[in-house]
Amino acid sequence: DQQVKQNSPSLSVQEGRISILNCDYTNSMFDYFLWYKKYPAEGPTFLISISSIKDKNEDGRFTVFLNKSAKHLSLHIVPSQPGDSAVYFCAASANTGNQFYFGTGTSLTVIP
Amino acid sequence: KAGVTQTPRYLIKTRGQQVTLSCSPISGHRSVSWYQQTPGQGLQFLFEYFSETQRNKGNFPGRFSGRQFSNSRSEMNVSTLELGDSALYLCASSPLSYNEQFFGPGTRLTVL
């Protein structure tokens, strides 16, 4: 049973525009969320996180929004750059150590 | 600081064999987690070790096992390999519990 879902397998965006990647979860006990970026032949790289006590966290061009009532989080990348082209995974944890549940990923392509 | 290293990077085995994969975490990191990545399934959590103790375990059969040594290095073992075990196996380390994880490049296992 997939507790974290990324329903869009792929997304294409023009360079300079906003990329919005979405993630839904089913477990109301999740209270810590992360986004990772993955290039081919490499392991995922941590991007940004958010805890359930916040609804927004920013780091440069990356902003994560959390809507607890909807069990939904999103990653905004502004402005998008060709180097952002990668697979993005969201992950969630319920404060049980490092047991994270990952989504299936969204492949982002930023078109120059 | 050196990143997470995994050996070997590629492995080909036949059904029924067993395999051992190795992971060296970032120096000072005490938590090591293992994930299986297959197309369409995202990253599936296998188990997490912290200070040589298995702290969390995912929903995988008993053929999948692991251990952690006193220097935090970890191994995972898969016995009686099946075709469906073909996947990318990722190891991740973190300094404490409930933290973002740093991933290695993975071991690509192919079972023929």
> Is B50 in contact with A93 (Cβ distance < 8 A)?
no
pLDDT for B99 equals 72
pLDDT for B86 equals 96
The partner residue sitting opposite B105, judged by closest CB among A32, A34, A42, is A42
pLDDT for B98 equals 61
Distance from C-alpha of B85 to C-alpha of B109, rounded to nearest angstrom: 8
Query: Percent of chain A scored above 70 by pLDDT?
Result: 96
A&B contacts, CB < 8 Å: 67
> Is A98 in contact with B58 (Cβ distance < 8 A)?
no
Tell me: the pLDDT tens digits for A16-39? 999 999 999 999 999 999 999 999
pLDDT for B18 equals 97
The partner residue sitting opposite B42, judged by closest CB among A32, A46, A105, is A105
Rounded to a whole number of angstroms, the distance from the CA of B11 to the nearest CA of chain A is: 14
Per-residue pLDDT for A61 more than 70? yes
Return the residue in A3, A5, A98, A101 with the most chain B beta carbons within 10 A, the one to mutate for interface testing.
Answer: A98
If one compares B21 and A100, the residue with the highest pLDDT of the two is B21
Which residue matches tokens 């196996």? Answer: B89
Task: Name the band, by pLDDT with cuts 50, 70 and 90, for residue A41.
Answer: confident
A99 touches chain B (CB under 8 A): yes
Window 17-76 of A, Cβ < 8 Å to B:
32, 34, 36, 41-46, 49
If one compares B94 and B40, the residue with the highest pLDDT of the two is B94
Tell me: the pLDDT tens digits for B28-71? 999 999 999 987 778 999 999 998 999 888 999 999 999 999 99
pLDDT for B96 equals 74
If one compares A14 and B57, the residue with the highest pLDDT of the two is A14
Task: Name the band, by pLDDT with cuts 50, 70 and 90, for residue A97.
Answer: low
What is the dihedral angle through the alpha carbons of B32, A107, A77, A58, rounded to the nearest 10 degrees? -20
The strand ranges marked E within chain A are 4-5, 10-14, 19-25, 32-38, 45-51, 56-59, 62-67, 72-77, 86-93, 100-102, 106-111
Q: Chain A residues with CB inside 8 Å of B88's CB?
A: none
Nearest CA among A103, A112, A111 for reference residue A37: A103
pLDDT for B52 equals 92
